[in-house]
A and B are shown apart, each in its own frame.
Chain A
Amino acid sequence: NAGVMQNPRHLVRRRGQEARLRCSPMKGHSHVYWYRQLPEEGLKFMVYLQKENIIDESGMPKERFSAEFPKEGPSILRIQQVVRGDSAAYFCASSGPGQGNQPQHFGDGTRLSIL
């Protein structure tokens, strides 16, 4: 019973390039959440998606960041024109139906480093 799968585990990009982070939720889960953990800070919510819909993107930076969860395939967090301040660990979580009543299960994260 595979858990939440994120890839790549580590990603290195130069300033100005694009970063694409992938997340496959646990089997049977249709709710996906993205969080960011900056150095020396706690995890911060970014976006909540269900299949083909963005439900809450209140934690997403206004520019350069976007997320999708298509009908088929993994959820993607896309960062365009990356800057040094984007260096962080990005975690994906998934949950079953029931929203706030269900635990969120996390992947191992993608560590993004910007040169």
Chain B
Amino acid sequence: KQEVTQIPAALSVPEGENLVLNCSFTDSAIYNLQWFRQDPGKGLTSLLLIQSSQREQTSGRLNASLDKSSGRSTLYIAASQPGDSATYLCAVIYSNSGYALNFGKGTSLLVTP
């Protein structure tokens, strides 16, 4: 069964800290991996998309890496701010499962002032 797992399930850090969110997937044959942010009662905001041929993507204070061979991705958030508080979701499109995103259950992040 193709699964996506995110660790930790919840994380609380003081403002200003750098932090890492982890995502693992069970099959290295993927099209791409996408990181999203979800605020309570809202939809998903796409943060970064990493193609299977890429190793990392960067946007502002966010950096996402991809290691297909080990089935892992990390989302690095630099200099965290209270506005970063949200649930962060990792999703993978497996090569043999069409075009469906397979989601982890997310990491709930709280950045305290």
Contact = CB atoms under 8 A, between A and B. Distances in A.
Interface in B15-39: 31-32, 34, 36
Contacts of A25: none
Nearest to A56: B98
Contacts of A35: 101, 103
A29 interface: no
A106 B46 contact: yes
A106 B44 contact: yes
Interface string A40-70: 0111110010000001101100000000000
A43 B31 contact: no
Contacts of A45: 100-102
Contact of B105 (A41, A93, A100): A41
Interface string B76-113: 00000000000001010101001111111110000000
Q: Is the interface of B mostly helix, strand, loop or mixed?
A: strand
A42 B98 contact: no
Q: How large is the interface on A (under 10, 10 to 19, 20 to 34, 35 or more residues)?
A: 20 to 34
Nearest to B30: A100
Contact of A100 (B41, B93, B102, B104): B93
B106 A56 contact: no
A101 B31 contact: yes
B99 A99 contact: yes
B100 A108 contact: no
Contacts of A100: 31-32, 93, 95, 99
A42 B100 contact: no
Given A48-B99, A59-B100, A42 B43 contact: no
A75 B59 CA distance: 31
B57 to A, nearest CB: 11
Interface of A: 4, 6, 31, 33, 35, 41-45, 48, 55-56, 58-59, 91, 93, 99-101, 103-109, 111
